[in-house]
Structure 1
């Protein structure tokens, strides 16, 4: 079954790539340029901030860059597959075109994911690999096989968290006619808070980023383990191991909400 889905997805992606390269080559280039520029701008902001203050709450420049890269790298891996479908879901529900997702012999969520691929985020993933190596070298982190496996597992957990948040934000479209503002706030505004150590925020924001919208498990807690770093946050050290578990729980919750939204959509007569 899994191999069948991989083959099916590869065919969808080939068709999608042929379409955008045949009709929208300029848009492909612009997407790549915009994503690279956005990453460079955010890194420049971090550098300017750290250049002035020499650190943030005991975190050095390259430690902050590692924190940022864990966030943007896992986000981009997720966004390659999930961002476009969830962004488009609002319009599909509004104009009724989501009906076409329900009449095909494939899971509707998989069908939406298979239909398109966010090529612009792929270059950010590649860029992120380079940043990882730069940070590991600057921070003298030796990536043994054990640490490499641990990092891969935590990145997978972080990808699940990002994907779950995107699916939850997109699923609001089944209940709300217009959800652009919520999508923007959850996917962008809250996520950027974790570009910096969360202990610089008040208790309420820390609790929000750990238990309500668990972006802290994307980068902050894994970075603390990777850097063997103590800090003044309100959470126990046990949380630094929680990313894979939080990722699975978040994804299960997101899929349950998605299924409930589909049942509501079907019963609404759309």
Structure 2
């Protein structure tokens, strides 16, 4: 709790320092936002022409894209820049500073900085959730909001888990940026569309090996009540939060294993 209070005080100070850079601070948000706006336009143009993709309509596909974008943005605010910073510290041999502080290195890693770039993802995500739900006639009562909140937390944990797991590889290989790009940005891009359009191999990969499908595809089935879209088991849409928690615990274990490896090198 003490760390949360300190972090809450740190964020306004962080924004104040960044805003001193003037217009460049706001261009950070604009640059990230423009990429997503272009992708939404691509979906709109494509679905306006073909109406559906394997039974998924325009705003259903937009909802899938929005869940991927929104949860990645949330996870990246607290983990993405932080893991890049850890990689640089390991490469430069300065990570020892993290080990002598009276704070858990994992928590210290999180509170060192704040990924303000990704706030644009979150803001656009909120807007697009409202747009999609309105066009899909999805009523957000208390139960529906609770379900949405739980599945988004689970999805965010999945996104955070892969950022931490791939970032932690720097303890073994010094540089893990290429792996992070391949997994976090490469494989994740498959999730911008329903996985039912892909081959069985891809479906198995993103469900049971690299379970990104629990970020948006299975939660969307639950939110949109698309029970006829079951791929492997009708249970899968309900276990996204469990998968997210399990993945994050695994990520923390990988982080600790890497931390012990770094300590053992005598660096």
Give TM-score, length-normalised by structure 1. 0.95
The C-alpha deviation readout for 1:129-156, integer Å capped at 9, x for no partner, is 1111111110011111001001001101
The count of aligned residue pairs is 267
2:183 pairs with 1:189: no
User: Could you tell which deviates more after superposition, 103-112 or 258-267?
Assistant: 103-112
Distance 2:79 2:164 in 1: 7
Of 41, 55, 58, the match for 1:58: 55
Match of 1:118 in 2: 115
Match of 2:163 in 1: 166
Q: C-alpha displacement at 1:21, in angstroms? A: 2.4
The C-alpha deviation readout for 1:152-190, integer Å capped at 9, x for no partner, is 011011111111110001001111132221111111111
Q: C-alpha displacement at 1:12, in angstroms? A: 2.6
Answer yes or no: is the 8 Å Cα contact 1:165–1:254 preserved in 2.
yes
The C-alpha deviation readout for 1:184-221, integer Å capped at 9, x for no partner, is 11111111111111011111111111122211001000
Match of 1:152 in 2: 149
Match of 1:93 in 2: 90
Give TM-score, length-normalised by structure 2. 0.96
Answer yes or no: is the 8 Å Cα contact 1:63–1:135 preserved in 2.
yes
Distance 2:23 2:93 in 1: 30
Match of 2:10 in 1: 12
Distance 1:212 1:95 in 2: 33
Distance 2:160 2:201 in 1: 24
Distance 1:173 1:206 in 2: 29
The C-alpha deviation readout for 1:96-154, integer Å capped at 9, x for no partner, is 12111111111111111111111121122122111111111100111110010010011
Distance 1:73 1:110 in 2: 23
Answer yes or no: is the 8 Å Cα contact 1:13–1:115 preserved in 2.
no
User: Could you tell which deviates more after superposition, 83-92 or 237-246?
Assistant: 83-92
RMSD of the TM alignment (CA)? Answer: 1.4
Q: C-alpha displacement at 1:31, in angstroms? A: 1.2
Distance 1:132 1:232 in 2: 21
Q: C-alpha displacement at 1:233, in angstroms? A: 5.5
2:19 pairs with 1:48: no
Aligned runs of 1:109-258 on 2, under 5 Å?
Answer: 109-231=106-228, 234-258=231-255
**Unmatched segments (≥5 aa) in structure 1:** none
Partner-residue secondary structure (3-state), 1:129: helix
2:34 pairs with 1:34: no
Q: C-alpha displacement at 1:232, in angstroms? A: 5.3
Distance 2:48 2:253 in 1: 45
